[in-house]
Amino acid sequence: MSTFPPKQQAPIDSLISLNTQMKFLKPLSQSSNLSIENFDFVVLVFWNRFMGRQSKRLIHFVQVNSKLEKEKKVKIIYVNTDNVFSKM
């Protein structure tokens, strides 16, 4: 996480495109628009409450890492997955 974007740790998942993923996201009423136009990078952060500290640390590291990019526009979208796990 010392460079933006971070070095690749696993193979890139190309099964679902970003545009397809965006179709399944529903913004909260107080959230800003989920538009990804006019951004050079879009980062999706999947988090949940039951992971507690790990989710908080992930969000913190992503925010710090995104600040390393000085020239291009970065959009971070936080995706809460609590409802997915509550229905299991």
The pLDDT tens digits for 10-48 are 787 778 889 999 998 888 877 777 889 999 999 999 999
Ramachandran angles phi, psi of 14, nearest 5°: -110, 15
pTM to 2 decimal places? 0.84
Higher pLDDT, 26 or 86: 26
Question: For the residues 64-74, what does the mean pLDDT come to?
Answer: 95
**Rounded-to-10 torsion of CA 43, 49, 55, 57:** 120
Q: Domain limits of the chain?
A: 37-86
| pLDDT attached to residue 2 | 84
**Rounded-to-10 torsion of CA 3, 9, 14, 15:** -140
* Structure tokens that stand for 45 in this block: 């952060």
